[in-house]
C-alpha cells in the first residue's frame, strides 16, 4: 500500500543512493529474505550503497538514507524514539512485512493484558521492559510504502528497489490470492475440500504456496483490497466452523488489520 505518491530516486546524482535496514520487534524473517537476495543485490551493488544493515555488516549508524527498510513492530519504549529517528534520517521509508505494517503475531497480546502474556513467556517477567501493545511504524511516522508478508516475498522487494532505481514509481500487485489460484490451475481447497481458506480475502504475494499443497491460506500477506470478510465468514459457518474458530482465523498474522479486526470482533 502506498500512503502517498513517491518521488522516484534520482540515481544520476552522486554519490550512490544510501540504503539502510532497521530491525524492531520481529523474528528476523523479513531481513533473512533480504539476505537471501545476495546474488541479486550484488548485481546492483555499483548503484546502491548499503550504508546500514546490522544483520549483515558492522557499519555504524551514521548520516541519512535515501531508502530505509524497516522490519518489526514498535514494542519497547526505546523503539518509539528509534522509529522517529529512522524517519528523520530517511528520504523514503518502506516497511517490511506484517509486523512493521500491522503489529504482526506479537500484536496478539493487544487482545489481553501484556503482563499476563509476559508471565506465560518469560521466567522473570519483571525484568522485561515493554509497551502494552505491539504497534506498526505508521502509528508513529509517515510510511511511504508497505510491503506485505510474513515474511515478505523477496521478489516483490527487489522489484520495488529496481523500479525506484530505474526512475519509476514503486508499486506492487494487489489482488486477491484466489486469482492466482485460478491462473495456476490450483484446485480451490475451500470448494473442493471444505478447508477454511482465507484466500478470497488475502492479497497476492506468496505464490499460492499453501493451496498448491492442498492446504488452506492463513493470510500471511494480509487483506486484499476491499475484502468481503463477512461473506467469507458466512461460508465458514456453512461448512460448520464455530464462531470462535472463525474469530481465530481472522486473528493471525494480520490480526490488527482493520478489515480483519472488525470481522473477528463480529464473532466474539
pLDDT digits (tens, 9 = 90+) for 8-30: 565 555 578 999 999 999 999 99
Average pLDDT over residues 32-49: 82
pLDDT tens track for 187-218: 999 999 999 999 999 999 999 999 999 999 99
Asked whether residue 3 carries a pLDDT value surpassing 50, the answer given is: no
* pLDDT(57) > 90: no
> Over pLDDT 90: what percentage of the chain?
81
Query: Hey, what CATH topology would domain 18-165 get?
Result: Rossmann fold (3.40.50)
Please compute the mean of the pLDDT values over residues 92-98 and round it to a whole number. Answer: 97
Question: Residue 43: which pLDDT band, with cuts at 50, 70 and 90?
Answer: confident
Instruction: Calculate the average pLDDT of the chain.
Output: 92
- Predicted local confidence at residue 12, as pLDDT: 54
Any idea where the domains of the chain sit in the sequence? Answer: 18-165, 177-265
pLDDT in tens, 141-191: 999 999 999 999 999 999 999 898 888 889 899 999 999 999 999 999 999
- Per residue, the 3-state secondary structure of the chain, as one string, reads CECCCCCCCCCCCCCCCEEEEEECECCCHHHHHHHCCHHHHHHCCCCCEEEEECCCCCCCCCCCEEEEEEECEECCHHHHHHHHHHHHHEEEEEEEHHHHHHCCHHHHHHHCCHHHHHHHHCCCHHHCCCCCCCECHHHCCCCCEEECECCECHHHHHHHHHHHHCCCCCCCCCCEHHHHHHHCCCCCHHHHHCCCCCHHHEECCCCCHHHHCCCCCCCCCCECCCCCHHHHHHHHHHCCCCHHHHHHHCCCCCCCCHHHHHHHHCCC
Amino acid at each position: 500500500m502506498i500512503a502517498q505518491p513517491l518521488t522516484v530516486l534520482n540515481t544520476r546524482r552522486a554519490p550512490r543512493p544510501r540504503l539502510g535496514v532497521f530491525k524492531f520487534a520481529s523474528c528476523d524473517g523479513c531481513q533473512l529474505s533480504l539476505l537471501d537476495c545476495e546474488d541479486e543485490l550484488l548485481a546492483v551493488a555499483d548503484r546502491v550503497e548499503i550504508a546500514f544493515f546490522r544483520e549483515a555488516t558492522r557499519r555504524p549508524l551514521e548520516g541519512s538514507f535515501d531508502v530505509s527498510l524497516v522490519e518489526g513492530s514498535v514494542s519497547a519504549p526505546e523503539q518509539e524514539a528509534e522509529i522517529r529517528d529512522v524517519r528523520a534520517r530517511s528520504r523514503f521509508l518502506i516497511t517490511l512485512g506484517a509486523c512493521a505494517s500491522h503489529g504482526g503475531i506479537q500484536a496478539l497480546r493487544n487482545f489481553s493484558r501484556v503482563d499476563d502474556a509476559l508471565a506465560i513467556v518469560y521466567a522473570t517477567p519483571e525484568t522485561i521492559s515493554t509497551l502494552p501493545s505491539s504497534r506498526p511504524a505508521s502509528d508513529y511516522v509517515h510510511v511511504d510504502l508497505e510491503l506485505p508478508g510474513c515474511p515478505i516475498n523477496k521478489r516483490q522487494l527487489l522489484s520495488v528497489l529496481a523500479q525506484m532505481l530505474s526512475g519509476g514509481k514503486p508499486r506492487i500487485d494487489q489482488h486477491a490470492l484466489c486469482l492466482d489460484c485460478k491462473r495456476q490451475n490450483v484446485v480451490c481447497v475451500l470448494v473442493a475440500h471444505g478447508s477454511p481458506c482465507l484466500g478470497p480475502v488475502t492479497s497476492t504475494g506468496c505464490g499460492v504456496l499453501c493451496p498448491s499443497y492442498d492446504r488452506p491460506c492463513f493470510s500471511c500477506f494480509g487483506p486484499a483490497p476491499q475484502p468481503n470478510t463477512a461473506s467469507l465468514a458466512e461460508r465458514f459457518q456453512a461448512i460448520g466452523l464455530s464462531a470462535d474458530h472463525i474469530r481465530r482465523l481472522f486473528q493471525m498474522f494480520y490480526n490488527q488489520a482493520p478489515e480483519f479486526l472488525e470481522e473477528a470482533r463480529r464473532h466474539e
